[in-house]
Structure 1
Amino acid sequence: MTTPMRLFSALLLSALAAASHADVAVIVHPDAPDTPSVAAVASIFLGLDRSLAPTDLQGWPAAREHFYRELTRKNEGQLKSYWAARIFTGKGRPPRTVKDQSAMLDYVASNPQAIGYVDSDALDERVQVLFILR
């Protein structure tokens, strides 16, 4: 395959991957004591604001990748480095994790202090949507 064809194929694949992601909804319990702004949510998930308890999806599924890329501009490697430094200096711990989106919905729906995220097509009426990351 020629270099221009490889470049075209790579661009096409990345465009298809970007187009295939679902929107990610940032969610809280309906009785949450606080409804943070987008900037405050980024601070919460980076351990800089403790007004709510952040919850992550285990591993690095598409929803988690999209959430962190859009909200904090960090990829998986950058986020791991960030938390390694915070842990080492005693400045914090990463968010708790849950197994999957169903567990995220269950946890946030049962905990007024929790904040999390799911694919927007996984939403149900038990949680309140703060905003959607497109």
Structure 2
Amino acid sequence: MKKLILASALTLCSISASAEVAVIVNASNTSNLDADTIKKIYLGKSKSFDNGAKVNPVNQNGNSVADEFNDKVVGKSSSQLNAYWSKLVFTGKGTPPEKLDNDQAVLDFVAANNDAIGYVDSAKVNDSVKVVGKF
């Protein structure tokens, strides 16, 4: 019985341990972004960087990195965020960020587009992009 309880406790601890999420922009981007600005971008409330350049955010398809980002930065669960965007789309007030399949797809997109912003597992970041925040 003690082994079962210990195994259950260890499982819960490993589930709650999560990776750090890095918010990234193109390496040539000189904008300064704080958590509130990033949140506004991903909620469609801000459509440009602080230098006035248009911003092109990308999400990840419902994976653990997306869940972490939504929870830590946007402050909503994935289902709450989907409902939020559904309402905006239905009323014609917004279009959600494009969804890419994984960290590598986000890295490639952000590296290739000067106006892009995305997020990845911080362990996957490379020199092709610039980290503007870790959560």
With the length of structure 2 as denominator, give the TM-score of the two structures: 0.85
Q: In percent, how many aligned pairs have the same letter?
A: 34
Amino acid in the other structure paired with 2:92: G
- Structure 2 equivalent of residue 61 of structure 1: 63
Runs of 4+ aligned structure 1 residues displaced above 4 Å come to: none
- Structure 2 equivalent of residue 40 of structure 1: 37
Q: Which of the numbers 16, 19, 26 marks the counterpart of 1:18?
A: 16
Amino acid in the other structure paired with 1:48: K
Once the two structures are superposed, what CA deviation does each residue of 1:89-124 show, in whole Å capped at 9, x if it has no partner?
A: 111011011121111000000111000000011110
Give me the whole-angstrom Cα distance separating, in 1, the residues matched to 2:95 and 2:10: 38
Amino acid in the other structure paired with 1:53: N
- Structure 1 equivalent of residue 52 of structure 2: none
- Structure 1 equivalent of residue 121 of structure 2: 119
Unaligned regions of 5+ residues in structure 1, if any?
Answer: none
- Structure 1 equivalent of residue 51 of structure 2: none
Give me the whole-angstrom Cα distance separating, in 1, the residues matched to 2:92 and 2:102: 28
- Structure 2 equivalent of residue 27 of structure 1: 24
Give me the whole-angstrom Cα distance separating, in 2, the residues matched to 1:14 and 1:90: 42
Cα drift, residue 53 of structure 1: 1.0
With the length of structure 1 as denominator, give the TM-score of the two structures: 0.86
Give me the whole-angstrom Cα distance separating, in 2, the residues matched to 1:14 and 1:71: 23
Cα drift, residue 13 of structure 1: 4.0
TM-align CA RMSD: 1.9
Give me the whole-angstrom Cα distance separating, in 2, the residues matched to 1:70 and 1:125: 24
Give me the whole-angstrom Cα distance separating, in 2, the residues matched to 1:12 and 1:93: 41
Cα drift, residue 33 of structure 1: 5.1
Q: Does the Cα contact within 8 Å between 1:33 and 1:113 map onto a contact in 2?
A: no
Cα drift, residue 77 of structure 1: 1.2
Cα drift, residue 39 of structure 1: 0.3
Once the two structures are superposed, what CA deviation does each residue of 1:17-57 show, in whole Å capped at 9, x if it has no partner?
A: 111x2111000001125322110000001111001111011
